[in-house]
Amino acid sequence: MERFKELDGDGYVPREQFFESLAGLLGDRFDASALSEHYEDTAWESPIVMPGAFDGLRGLANAGISIGVVTNGSTSTQIRKLKNSGLIEMIDAYVISESFGARKPEPSIFRAVCGRLRADPMRCWLVGDHPEYDVLGAHGVGLRTVWLERQVPWPDEQPRVYETRVSELGDAFSFLLSRTAR
């Protein structure tokens, strides 16, 4: 599993490169395109949602807070994740990079989700786990940010522009509820 995670780069290695590396690791009997096809066909049948996601989203919705998702990736994959996890029923808007035509950290993708929510970016928050793609990208267009500190460390050369950093998703929701209740 450790080698698999290393090859995957916490989901940031391009899929084509990942499957080429995986096929090389597994040996001649495995073809990168066949592995990729199998993955695309089956990987998102039952996605695992981070602990605290459903309760946190319900809490925000009950407080009258609109919820948007901005995600990089293929449209078909991201839609399957949202639908099969049940998250799509809990959000008000989403923007997927492939169908939108820009990827995080491009400013336009963050503005787009704010537009779909009919919200001023200066009044929006983003919770993200990638310092550059999520936090710095969103901050660049005026969103306030929460850094969900996970596998990707904060780059030493970048200013710490987040309002708070948390290690658990539930803590991010608690923070947001405390900030928006004012």
Task: Kindly report, residue by residue over 3-58, the tens digit of the pLDDT.
Answer: 888 888 877 888 889 999 999 999 989 999 999 999 888 888 999 999 999 999 99
pTM: 0.87
Tell me the CATH number for domain 53-180: 3.40.50.1000
Mean pLDDT, the chain, integer: 94
What local confidence, expressed as pLDDT, does residue 181 receive?
64
What is the model's pLDDT at position 50? 94
Q: Which of 134, 50, 47 is nearest to 82 (CA)?
A: 47
Give 79: exposed, middle or buried? Use CB within 10 Å, 0-12, 13-18, 19+. middle
Over residues 121-131, the pLDDT tens digits come to 999 999 999 99
Cα dihedral sign, 51-57-63-66: positive
The string of pLDDT tens digits covering residues 46-101 is 999 999 999 999 999 999 999 999 999 999 999 999 999 999 999 999 999 999 99
Residue-range domain boundaries for the chain: 2-42, 53-180
Q: Between these two residues, 181 and 160, which has the higher pLDDT value?
A: 160
Phi, psi at 165, each rounded to 5°: -125, 140
Contact 147, 176 (CB under 8 A): no
Distance in angstroms (rounded) separating the CA atoms of residues 109 and 113: 7
Contacts of 178 (CB under 8 A, 6+ apart): none
User: What mean pLDDT is predicted for residues 161-169?
Assistant: 97
Confirm if 142 and 121 have CB atoms less than 8 A apart: yes
Q: Does pLDDT of 139 surpass 90?
A: yes
Token pair 């009997």 is at which residue? 29
